[in-house]
Structure 1
Amino acid sequence: MRLPTLRRTRSAEPGALSGTARLDRRTKRLVGRLRPGDIAVIDHVDLDRVAADSLVAVGVAAVLNARPSISGRYPNLGPQMLVEAGIPLIDDLGETIFQQLREGAVVRIEDDKVLVDGEPVAAGVRQDVASVGKAMADAREGLSVQLEAFAANTMEYLKQERDLLLDGVGVPDVVTSFAGRHCLIVVRGYDYKADLDVLRPYVREFKPVLVGVDGGADALVEAGYTPDMIIGDMDSVSDDVLRCGAEVVVHAYPDGRAPGLARTQQLGVPAITFPAAATSEDLAMLLADEKGVSLIVAVGTHATLVEFLDKGRGGMASTFLTRLKVGGKLVDAKGVSRLYRQNLSGSALLLLVLSAIAAMAAAVAVSTVGKAYLAVVAAWWDNLIFPLRQLF
C-alpha cells in the first residue's frame, strides 16, 4: 500500500510562541470554538487527517496533544498535515495538561515545554518533519496487525447488521422523498470544500436530495445550500444549522441509546433515531438506498484502506460493506476538484475580453452598417461638444 510521502516544506522549528488555549477532548468539537492564532489542546491518539485539516483551516498557532499523535498502530496522516503546514505539534503531554490549563488561558510554548505565567506546567515531545517521517515508517510495520483486526471487525459487523444490510430492517420512516431522485451526501472529509464547489452545476441541474452527515450539514450551508436532511450523532453540527428546517435523523447505538437526541430536544428540533452499529455516513447511504434513490453522489466520505485506518475506528468496517451494498448507485465525488480544475488566470481572462472587444471593433469598422453607425455616433459627438467649444 502506497502512502503519501512527507514534503519538506516549512517545518515547525523549535522556538517560543504564545496564544490563547482552547481545550476539548473531542477535536472536531473543539474546532468550532477555535480562532486563528489559538493554541488547540486535544486528547487525540493517532490524529487523523480530517481532524488535522480542520485545525490547519482554522489557522491555529500550535497543537498540544495529551496523547501520542502517532501511536505506531498504523501510519496515520494527521501529524504529517500539521508539520507540513508549519504548525508546531507537541505530543504526549499527559493527562495533567487538562488539569493545569483552563479555557482561555494565555500559554507560552518554548521548545517542548508549556508555560503559564512563566511557570512550566507540562513537557512533551515536539514533532517535526523528520520525527513524523520516522514514526510513519515505524508504523508501517504494524499494518498487518491492523488489517487482520479490520477483517475481523468486518465479519463481526456483517453478523450483527446483516438484516439491515440485506433487507433494510431497522431503517426508519422519513418525510424526505428519495424515490427516483439523486441524493448528494456530504461528509466533512478530505477535500470536501473543493469537491462540493465543483459540483455546483450538477446541483443546479439535478436538484438532488441534500443530506449532511453531522458537520457536513454545516458544509452545505457554507456552500449556500439548505440541507434536506441531517443525519449523525449531532456532535459537530452547529445549533443554527440544526434549526434550518431539515429533517433530523439521530444516529443511535444498537441498543437504542442516542446521546445526540438530548441536544435536539433541548433545541426544540424534532428528530427520529436510527439505531445501528455502522458509521453515520453509512447510515445516510443505507437510508437513501432503502428509500429508492436512483443515484448517490458522495462528497468527503471514506473510500480507501488508508482512510479507513486513518479514521481510527473499528466501525469503519461497516463502510466497506455499505459500499458493496450500494455500489451500483454510488458515485464517489472524492478528488473531482483535482480532476476538473479551472486554470484560467486573471491576466488570461483580461486578454480574452480585450480580444473580444478588438474583434467587435474591427467588425464594425469594416462593415457598411458599422461605418454608417460610426458616422451617426460622430455627428452626435460633434453636436454634444459644439456648445462647449463656443464657451471656451
Structure 2
Amino acid sequence: MKFAVRPRPASALPGVHGPARIHRRTASVLGRLRAGDVAVLDHVDMDRDTAQSLIDAGVVAVVNASPMISGRYPNLGPERLVEAGVVVVDSAGPEIFDRLKDGSDVRIDGGVVHSGDALVAPARELTPDVVRTEMARARSGLAAQLESFTHNSTEFLRREQDLLLHGHGVPRTATEMAGRPVVVVVRSHGWEDELRGIKPFVREQKPVLIAVDRGADALVSAGHKPDVVVVTGDTDDLPSAAVLRKARDVVVLVERGAPRAATERLERLGIRPLRFETTATTEDAALLLASAREAALIVGVGMHATLDEFLDRRRAGLASTFLTRLKLGPDLVDAAALPRLYDGAVRPRHLLGAVLAGVLAVGAAISVTPVGQQWVDDVSPSVSRTTTDLFDDVRGLLP
C-alpha cells in the first residue's frame, strides 16, 4: 500500500528562496525587481553601478547565465554584491532562461539552482575568496585592455571632435548656466554621502542641478528639484514621469540621424525633450552640456573618479569618460573633495571678529562727536595717573 507524500514547503528546504525575475537584458530586470526577489539575468563582467541597483532593489540572490568576472578587466560588481550579503551564482548557462518561468519560486543552495525540488542548473557560487582570486587574475590582464582603450579613444575623438573641441551639437536649454555653478548627479555608489557633503554649497550657491537617468529620482528623494534631466532614449532606466515633468529641461541622447521615434516614448508622457545626438555616455553628455553652456564650475556627484572605477565602466564608455575629463580639466570638481575646499560654516572666531570690528567702528564714530570728546577728556587724566603709578611701583621693585 502506497501513501501519498506531501511535498515539503519551499521554506523548509535549505538555501535562499525567492520569486524569479527573469530577462536577458539587465535593464529590463531592474525595472521589475522587488525586495526578496531573485534576479536571473545574463550580464558578463557586472559593473558596480548595476550591482548597487540590484542591492538597492533588495534582491536576496543573483543568478547570472554568464561569468560575473570574465578576466578581461577587474570589474567591481561581484565584490559589491558579495559584500552586501547577496547570494551570487554565475555561469549557469543560457538554458536557464528556458527552464525557469518569471515569477516562479527559485531556491539556490551551494551554487545549484532549484525550482522546488527540481534541479534547474548547476552553477558556481561566488564567495569572497573566489571573488578575490578572480579579481587578482583579471588585474594581471589589464595591459591588453589598455591597448584596446587607446584605439577606442582615437575612434571616439574622430567621431566626436566637433563636440569635444567646439561644443557643436549641444542643445540649447531653457535653463541658463553661463557663469553659474552646476552640480551633475549620477545615481552611483556613494552618491548619498557625496550629496550630503556638499549640502552647504548647494544651499548657499544655488547651483543648476543636472540629473543623469535615475539620478533624477534620487535627487528628488533627497529633497531637491532637478533643473535638467539627461536620459538615454533607448533604455528602460528612465526616471518616473512625475520627476521628468518637474524638470525645466529634459535632454535625450540619440544616435546621429535617429528618427523622431527615438523620442516618442517621452512625448507620449507629455514631455518635449531636447535631442542630443552623441555617442558619449549619459554621464559624460551631462558634463559636456554644462561645459558648452559655460558653467563657472561643475561638481560631479557619484562620478567615477578612481582608476578602478574608471576601468569598471562599460567598454564603449571608457573613451568617452577619459576624453570628457580631459576636456573639462580644472572646471570639474569631485563632490567628495568639495567639503575640504568649501563647507560654508560660520565659525565662532568669524563672529568674534565681526563683533570686535563693529565695536571699534562704533567707538570711532562716537569719538569724533562732542560727547565723545568730553568722555576722552574725562578718561585721559585717570588713565595717565594709573600709568604713572604703575611705572613708579615697577621702579621701586628694581635694585
TM-score range normalised by the length of the shorter chain: 0.7 to 0.9
Identical counterparts, % of pairs: 49
**Counterpart in 1 of 2:265?**
263
**Counterpart in 2 of 1:80?**
79
Q: Deviations over 1:20-73 (max 9, x none)?
A: 112233435533432222111121110111111222233321111111100010
Q: Deviations over 1:237-281 (max 9, x none)?
A: 223322324311101123435875232022121112101111111
* Contact 2:252 2:273 (8 Å CA) reproduced: yes
**Counterpart in 2 of 1:299?**
301
**Counterpart in 2 of 1:331?**
333
Give the distance between the partners of 1:134 and 1:30, measured in 2 at CA.
Answer: 28
Give the distance between the partners of 1:193 and 1:172, measured in 2 at CA.
Answer: 29
* Contact 1:250 1:258 (8 Å CA) reproduced: no
Question: Cα–Cα, structure 1 residues 26 and 222, in superposed 2: closer, same or farther, change >3 Å?
Answer: farther
Question: Cα–Cα, structure 1 residues 207 and 339, in superposed 2: closer, same or farther, change >3 Å?
Answer: closer
**Counterpart in 2 of 1:253?**
255
Unmatched 5+ residue regions in structure 1?
Answer: 1-14, 342-392
Shift of 1:19: 0.6
- The 5 A counterparts of 1:1-392 are 16-234=15-233, 235=235, 236=237, 237-256=239-258, 261-334=263-336
**How much is the aligned-residue C-alpha RMSD, in angstroms?**
2.2
* Contact 2:182 2:209 (8 Å CA) reproduced: yes
Question: Cα–Cα, structure 1 residues 26 and 215, in superposed 2: closer, same or farther, change >3 Å?
Answer: farther
Shift of 1:102: 2.5
Unmatched 5+ residue regions in structure 2?
Answer: 1-13, 344-399
* Contact 1:21 1:106 (8 Å CA) reproduced: yes
Give the distance between the partners of 1:71 and 1:255, measured in 2 at CA.
Answer: 35
* Contact 1:192 1:334 (8 Å CA) reproduced: no
Shift of 1:142: 1.2
Give the distance between the partners of 1:283 and 1:258, measured in 2 at CA.
Answer: 20
Q: Larger deviation: 87-96 or 108-117? A: 108-117
Give the distance between the partners of 2:136 and 2:326, measured in 1 at CA.
Answer: 31
Give the distance between the partners of 1:100 and 1:336, measured in 2 at CA.
Answer: 51
Q: How many residues align?
A: 327
Secondary structure (helix, strand or coil) at the match of 1:243 reads helix
**Counterpart in 1 of 2:8?**
none
Q: Deviations over 1:302-329 (max 9, x none)?
A: 2333222211322321111111111231
Question: Cα–Cα, structure 1 residues 27 and 259, in superposed 2: closer, same or farther, change >3 Å?
Answer: farther
Give the distance between the partners of 2:79 and 2:273, measured in 1 at CA.
Answer: 39
Shift of 1:184: 0.6
Shift of 1:101: 2.2
Please say which structure displays the higher CA radius of gyration.
2
* Contact 1:191 1:334 (8 Å CA) reproduced: no
Secondary structure (helix, strand or coil) at the match of 1:183 reads strand
Give the distance between the partners of 1:90 and 1:337, measured in 2 at CA.
Answer: 39
The two structures have a TM-score, normalised by structure 1, of 0.78
Give the distance between the partners of 2:337 and 2:80, measured in 1 at CA.
Answer: 17
Q: Larger deviation: 80-89 or 240-249? A: 240-249
